[in-house]
């Protein structure tokens, strides 16, 4: 497939690319394919016509499997490079849908699925341990970081690792997103930090 496309490039641009494991001889003057444009993903019927010096021609048809091997891309969704919150009344954790933390794109449809590959508290006010303080919400597809106690001086910081997987099972490298949570509204909230 052509990079960034969900189809091959024009076959006419490099007709010999499909003939890598085929011997056509060294007196070939032209190779033509029908269709000559790009091929979409999946099994495609292709007709090949080869012309040799001296005027002889050979024709054949074959099935070509066009597969997507390009992994999706994933990038941090917020301009600040992460997420930041302090608790709304009654809330014990800041929960973020995965798609709110990252943007995932792919060359083919459907859109890739974002998955959580890890979550660990890296800096913390008093903590229950990273497994208890950073978790994936059951059935909701969100990652949650437990707020530190209201009187905690330092925020709790978690590293959330996410990746995207497309319909062809190609996977992006994991991307780490920082989630910072405070026990109460900070005196000078960082840019983008808000109650949650």
Mean pLDDT of 158-168: 94
Whether the CB-CB separation of 30 and 51 falls below 8 Å is answered with yes
Question: Domain-by-domain residue ranges, the chain?
Answer: 11-66, 73-195
- pLDDT confidence bin for 113, thresholds 50/70/90: very high
Give the model's pLDDT for residue 91. Answer: 95
Whether the CB-CB separation of 176 and 130 falls below 8 Å is answered with no
Give the model's pLDDT for residue 127. Answer: 58
Q: What percent of the chain has pLDDT over 70?
A: 83
pTM over 0.85: no
Check whether 123 has a pLDDT greater than 70. Answer: yes
Q: How far, in Å, CA of 186 to CA of 50, rounded?
A: 73
Over the chain, what is the mean pLDDT? 84
Q: How far, in Å, CA of 32 to CA of 10, rounded?
A: 12
E strand or H helix at 98, and its extent? helix 98-101
Strand ranges inside the chain, DSSP E? 28-34, 42-52, 57-66, 73-76, 82-86, 93-97, 102-105, 113-123, 134-137, 142-146, 156-165, 175-181, 194-195
Mean pLDDT of 14-30: 64
- Note the pLDDT tens digit of each residue in 43-65: 888 888 888 888 888 888 888 88
């Amino acid at each position: 497939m052509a990079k960034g496309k969900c189809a091959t490039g024009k076959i006419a641009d490099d007709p010999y690319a499909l003939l890598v494991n085929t011997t056509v001889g060294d007196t070939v003057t032209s190779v033509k394919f029908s269709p000559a444009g790009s091929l979409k993903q999946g099994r495609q019927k292709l007709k090949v016509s080869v012309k040799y010096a001296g005027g002889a021609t050979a024709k054949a048809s074959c099935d070509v499997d066009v597969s997507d091997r390009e992994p999706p891309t994933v990038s941090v969704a917020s301009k600040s490079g992460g997420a930041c919150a302090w608790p709304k009344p009654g809330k014990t954790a800041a929960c973020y849908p995965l798609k709110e933390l990252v943007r995932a794109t792919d060359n083919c449809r459907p859109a890739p699925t974002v998955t959580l590959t890890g979550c660990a508290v890296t800096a913390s006010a008093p903590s229950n341990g990273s497994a208890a303080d950073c978790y994936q919400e059951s059935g909701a597809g969100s990652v949650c970081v437990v707020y530190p106690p209201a009187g905690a001086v330092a925020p709790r910081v978690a590293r959330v690792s996410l990746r995207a997987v497309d319909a062809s099972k190609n996977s992006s490298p994991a991307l780490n997103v920082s989630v910072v949570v405070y026990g109460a509204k900070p005196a000078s909230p960082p840019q983008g930090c808000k109650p949650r």
